[in-house]
Structure 1
Amino acid sequence: MHLKACFSLKRPFCKTRCQPRYQPCPRQRRPPSGSAGTPGPARGQCAGAAAVAAWGTRWRSRGGTPRPGRAALQPTECFLSQPEEKQESTVKAKRRKKKKISDVLQKSAPKPGVPADLQNLLTQHFGENRSVIEIEELQLSDSCFLTANDLTHSFSSYLKEICPKWAKLRRSHKEKKSVVMLVLCSSALRCLELIKSMTAFKGDCRVLKLFAKHIKIQEQINMLEKGVFHIGVGTPGRVKALVEQDALCLNSTKYMILDWNWRDQKLRRMMDIPEIKKETIDLLEKSIIKLCRDGSVKLGLF
């Protein structure tokens, strides 16, 4: 009965649960009682249990460990240890602080614009896409420029200095769709400021607002066709659009003033704003530079 239980595949242990499955019961190969180092089973003890104890003694004498019993074969909970993440250094590389125009102006006083600034601007803008001959055609001589503002003049005093014979020019101008003096600014608000500041200069001459804020281009076209205006103050984008539509003719224009030195709330000049810069250069290239080279238009930097 005992042997049958030990070799049965349905039950992995014998009835006394002294040996793992598929092993013959130690009772079959029990050493003879009285042999050296193998004491016999105690009274009331299974022969298999006694044999297991003898095997454990033999394993320990050889430096090994006895085979674990059923209690030691119970499954144990296993935890997977995750690799420790390396702590990123909290100290980041310092970025180089970009210089602002306000920092530059705090260290040095603003410099007034000169004709060379406009020449350099045109050269830098067309230098990559134009040949040397084409760039030379865009260059203007010093005779094409008026005296630049040295930051000490108001707008009226500057206009009186560059145009001492304004009264005569105003009386002789009777052409429609044209102006004698054209002033370009960076914004509509700046245009209104300059119109107010030229009261002492303009007298009774008519001034036309040439900007897009609250004024439709068709209204400006109708005003140019019906009336005679002496001064036009506007933005480069709207003036360019009027010239392209043949609503504004520059053949009668004698003076063109760029509001070069004024800075807005962000301390940007007229040519520091990309959109205004592009539209101004396009207007100069298509119409103004040719008239300046012919000697009919003078450029001024206020």
Structure 2
Amino acid sequence: MSDSEYGAGVPLIEPMPGSPADGKRKRDEEEPKQSKRAKRRKNKQPKDVHDEDLDEAAGLNRSVGRMDSRLLADYMAQRTKRFEPDLSFVELEDRYVPENSICDTSSWDGERTLDQLPAFIEKFAQGDLTKAPKSNGAPHTIVVAASGIRAADVTRHLLTGSRGLRKFEQKGTKVAKLFAKHIKLKEAIESCTRLKMNFGVGTPQRISDLVGDGALSTSNLKRIIIDASHIDVKKRGIMDMKETQVPLAQLLGREELKSRFGQPGGIEVVFY
């Protein structure tokens, strides 16, 4: 029987399973897949972040503190492209946080730890931060953290500062907990509608849900502070995990907020 009866270029004998030839064929098939995985691992780290910037002992990504407004805007955009690769150009534009809306905090020379957060806020925010707007559920400052546990830690430090003294919560004002841990959405909505708050602290998805419901008003909002330098035991920050970066980008892309970015008297985005 001639080769033509089998079709041109088709081998007459397939490699035996487990044979050297069969092993080589499998390696040849797997090599492109391994190359793609290696490329993805290589591209996982943002261009402006190096391993030596990730201080596991301190729980800090030190590169965030060195980034100016432009680099932070690019950092956020890069992470959005990575975690939402199917977004169209228009959708990516909707997620983009403009450079002129981001506060340049690269001049801060202190550690970006929780005990330094109150001093950091006082340096880059204007006005009396202990006062709350007259309307219920309408804070002047929102702090966004990666998890409920982290948000609880942030809340404690905003309440007491580094010396155990009462800090931003005074009589008639409230540093409100807007995170999901042990607090159901219905309870959070009821809490927002009856509290005069100066600060609201929560996770990206919960804050977005409260804004979407109307329980959390953005009418008096002056700044959104993102707890960006903090990393977990796997050296991941709020912008390095899909489950937190995507809702964060969606929150910042909400029309109630985005329409006031970069405007006089508008909303400023501050990366801590």
TM bucket normalised to smaller? 0.5 to 0.7
1:261 is matched with which residue? 229
Return the TM-score normalized by structure 2. Answer: 0.66
**Distance in 2 of aligned mates of 1:301 and 1:259:** 6
Confirm or deny that 1:202 pairs with 2:164. no
1:31 is matched with which residue? none
Confirm or deny that 1:240 pairs with 2:208. yes
Helix, strand or coil at the partner of 2:270: strand
1:119 to 73, 91, 112: 73
1:225 shift after superposition: 1.5
Confirm or deny that 1:181 pairs with 2:141. yes
Helix, strand or coil at the partner of 1:270: coil
1:65 is matched with which residue? none
1:292 is matched with which residue? 261
Of 273-282 and 85-94, deviating more is 85-94
Q: Which has the higher contact order (CA 8 A, sep 6+)?
A: 2
Instruction: Go from structure 1 to structure 2 and tell me whether the alpha carbon gap of 1:274 and 1:173 turns closer, same or farther (over 3 Å shift).
Output: same
**Distance in 1 of aligned mates of 2:94 and 2:193:** 37
1:152 is matched with which residue? 110
Matches within 5 A, 1:1-302: 86=19, 98=41, 104-106=50-52, 110-112=62-64, 113-120=67-74, 121-122=76-77, 125=81, 129-131=88-90, 135=93, 138=96, 140-142=98-100, 144-148=101-105, 150=108, 152-153=110-111, 154-167=116-129, 170-171=130-131, 173-198=133-158, 199-200=160-161, 201-204=167-170, 205-286=173-254, 287-295=256-264, 296-302=266-272
**Distance in 1 of aligned mates of 2:131 and 2:110:** 29
Helix, strand or coil at the partner of 1:194: helix
**TM-superposition CA deviations, 1:253-275 (whole Å, max 9, x none):** 11110111111111001111112
1:148 shift after superposition: 2.0
**TM-superposition CA deviations, 1:80-132 (whole Å, max 9, x none):** xxx9x74679999796775686x942488741243224422337648961259
Helix, strand or coil at the partner of 1:233: strand
- Paired positions, count: 215
Unaligned runs of 5+ in 1: 1-82
Structure 1 contact 206–231 (Cα < 8 Å) conserved: yes
Root-mean-square deviation over aligned CA pairs: 3.6
1:224 shift after superposition: 1.5
**TM-superposition CA deviations, 1:165-217 (whole Å, max 9, x none):** 224xx436211121111000110111111122222341424111111111011
**Distance in 2 of aligned mates of 1:86 and 1:136:** 55
Structure 2 contact 179–206 (Cα < 8 Å) conserved: yes
**Distance in 2 of aligned mates of 1:187 and 1:283:** 15
**TM-superposition CA deviations, 1:221-251 (whole Å, max 9, x none):** 1112222111100001001111111111101
Unaligned runs of 5+ in 2: 1-15, 56-61, 162-166
**Distance in 2 of aligned mates of 1:137 and 1:210:** 22
Helix, strand or coil at the partner of 1:280: helix
Whose radius of gyration is greater, 1 or 2?
1
**Distance in 1 of aligned mates of 2:53 and 2:177:** 37
**Distance in 2 of aligned mates of 1:278 and 1:250:** 20
The amino acid of 1:130's aligned partner reads F
1:138 shift after superposition: 4.8
Structure 1 contact 257–300 (Cα < 8 Å) conserved: yes
* Identity fraction in percent: 19
1:151 shift after superposition: 6.3
**Distance in 2 of aligned mates of 1:212 and 1:176:** 20
**Distance in 2 of aligned mates of 1:107 and 1:257:** 21
